[in-house]
């Protein structure tokens, strides 16, 4: 009806123009709708691309973790196979060198020879420790600690491993959160990072060890794809050395990879840092460029607990002499003889056994109290864990110290040593043995095993 009236009033030409205008407006409206749809589709596409990139980065990180785990397993089989015997040998070398140093007069040049033997044994000990840490065969004894305390205590010996032309600075965050980690393994991380930094500055420079708290709240801006959202304490080691290019950074955590000349490095230092950090639930990141130094950051999860007091045992004095009766069980002749000699010279009565069966025979014949069992973990016939279970059932008052080059899964659970278990890592010094014995004997109750 309206169209008819328009035709009558405006004529046919005006009607045609009206129809074209209406069509144009309709097409413009459709074009506007399509533009909105295209913009929305483009936004969704960009989101999908971003998700794809994040997924690809996460997949790459997972693949790298799998490769690293495979390398760790291969090295671990090798390390676990030799660590027990090798650490027994190193224990004997270290202890007998200490005996010589103690017996030789201070002005006798033979003392320098004995000290050089001990230094060589310590270098071998470090290598074995790195192999075990990298391969996850090292005993893991985590407890609540404050990184500031560990850094402050351990920094007292770092001056011995860096050159005189390298300046060491500390920037420790007041109010740093508590982490759960093995203090001795954190020391390994610090030592390896500081030595690596020092080696990168042959002409001198500065190393800065810093700590701070950080909260990761945004997955988009994480320092590393493997970092989960949460609260972390960060240990950072920065140097002013020669730096690294991207190709080198891609391989620095690989086992046995080194840029040093032959004979100057094992290529295990940073691989050990990676393994210990991962085992402690953390992540390690690195930033570097040629001639711009390097920055290594260790992110360790913070926990809601009070930190236990930490003190490095490196320079502790010998404990008081003892009078208790100890049962020493060790299948390695050299370690058994020297351990008994150390303990007897310090006042203890020592019953000696070569394996678990002999130990049970000794305990059966000895009708008086036995205050402490010191046993190797890995032994023929009856292992250390089974021996401790049998003797603890017979003598509930007896305390126990396990000693070994590695646990082989016999006394650790899920790769972590129960805090109630007293453990002495081989190779050990006379001081370490006496300190551990006194610590366990003076504990309030026998340690459950």
Span 59-65, mean pLDDT? 69
What is the spatial distance between Cα 267 and Cα 265, in angstroms, rounded to a whole number?
Answer: 6
Q: Which residue has the higher pLDDT, 164 or 68?
A: 164
Q: pTM value? A: 0.64
pLDDT digits (tens, 9 = 90+) for 162-202: 878 899 999 999 999 999 998 888 988 999 999 899 988 98
Specify whether the CB–CB gap between 411 and 385 falls below 8 A: yes
Fold of 139-303: Heat Shock Protein 90 (3.30.565)
Helix (H) or strand (E) holding 65: helix 2-103
Lowest model confidence (mean pLDDT) among 62-71, 103-112, 430-439: 62-71
What is the spatial distance between Cα 146 and Cα 119, in angstroms, rounded to a whole number?
Answer: 30
pLDDT digits (tens, 9 = 90+) for 308-353: 877 665 556 778 899 999 999 999 898 999 999 999 999 999 999 9
Q: What is the DSSP string of 369-437?
A: ---EEEEESS-SSS-HHHHHHHHHHH-TT-EEEEEES--TTSSEETTEE-TTSEEEESS--HHHHHHHH
Helix (H) or strand (E) holding 358: helix 356-365
**Secondary structure E strands in 95-243:** 143-146, 166-171, 178-181, 205-216, 230-239
pLDDT digits (tens, 9 = 90+) for 225-253: 888 999 999 999 999 999 999 999 988 88
Q: Which residue has the higher pLDDT, 353 or 138?
A: 353
Note the CATH number of domain 316-441.
3.40.50.2300
Q: What is the DSSP string of 219-285?
A: GGG-SSTTPPSEEEEEEEEEE-S----HHHHTTTTSTT---SPTTS--S-HHHHHHHHHHHTT-EEE
List the domain boundaries for the chain: 40-138, 139-303, 316-441
Which residue has tokens 């002749």? 333
Task: Tell me the three state secondary structure of residue 323.
Answer: coil
The token duo for 112 is 């320098």
What is the spatial distance between Cα 250 and Cα 107, in angstroms, rounded to a whole number?
Answer: 51
Which residue has tokens 């190779």? 427
Q: Flag whether pLDDT at 263 surpasses 60.
A: no
pLDDT value for 18: 61
């Amino acid at each position: 009806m309206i169209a008819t009236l328009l035709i009558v009033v405006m004529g046919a030409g005006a009607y045609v123009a009206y129809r074209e205008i209406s069509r144009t407006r309709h097409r413009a409206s459709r074009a506007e709708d399509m533009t909105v749809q295209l913009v929305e589709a483009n936004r969704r596409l960009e989101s999908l691309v971003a998700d794809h990139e994040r997924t690809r980065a996460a997949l790459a990180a997972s693949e790298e973790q799998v490769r690293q785990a495979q390398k760790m397993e291969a090295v671990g089989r090798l390390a676990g196979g030799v660590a027990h015997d090798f650490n027994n040998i190193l224990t004997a070398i270290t202890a007998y060198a200490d005996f010589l140093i103690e017996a030789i007069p201070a002005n006798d040049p033979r003392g320098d020879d004995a000290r050089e033997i001990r230094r060589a044994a310590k270098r071998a000990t470090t290598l074995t420790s790195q192999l075990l840490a990298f391969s996850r065969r090292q005993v893991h004894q985590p407890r609540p600690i404050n990184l500031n305390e560990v850094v402050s205590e351990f920094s007292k010996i770092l001056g011995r491993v860096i050159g005189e032309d390298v300046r060491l600075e500390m920037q420790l965050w007041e109010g740093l959160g508590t982490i759960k980690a093995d203090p001795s393994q954190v020391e390994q991380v610090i030592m390896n990072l500081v030595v690596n930094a020092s080696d990168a500055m042959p002409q001198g420079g500065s190393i800065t060890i810093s700590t701070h708290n950080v909260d990761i709240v945004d997955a988009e801006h994480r320092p590393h794809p493997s970092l989960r959202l949460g609260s972390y304490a960060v240990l950072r080691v920065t140097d002013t050395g020669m730096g690294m290019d991207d190709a080198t950074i891609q391989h620095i955590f690989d086992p046995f990879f080194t840029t040093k000349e032959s004979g100057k490095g094992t290529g295990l230092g940073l691989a050990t840092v990676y393994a210990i950090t991962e085992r402690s639930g953390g992540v390690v990141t690195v930033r570097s460029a040629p001639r711009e130094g390097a920055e290594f950051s260790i992110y360790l999860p913070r926990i809601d607990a009070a930190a236990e007091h930490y003190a490095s045992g490196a320079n502790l004095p010998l404990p008081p002499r003892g009078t208790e009766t100890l049962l020493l069980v060790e299948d390695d002749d050299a370690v058994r003889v020297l351990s008994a000699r150390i303990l007897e010279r310090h006042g203890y009565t020592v019953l000696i056994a070569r394996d678990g069966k002999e130990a049970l025979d000794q305990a059966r014949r000895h009708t008086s109290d036995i205050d402490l069992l010191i046993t190797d973990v890995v032994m023929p016939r009856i292992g250390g864990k089974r021996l401790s279970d049998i003797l603890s059932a017979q003598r509930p008052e007896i305390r126990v110290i396990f000693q070994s080059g590695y646990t082989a899964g016999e006394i650790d659970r899920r790769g972590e040593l129960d805090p109630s278990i007293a453990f002495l890592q081989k190779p050990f010094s006379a001081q370490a043995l006496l300190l551990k014995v006194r610590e366990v004997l003076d504990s309030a109750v026998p340690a459950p095993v």
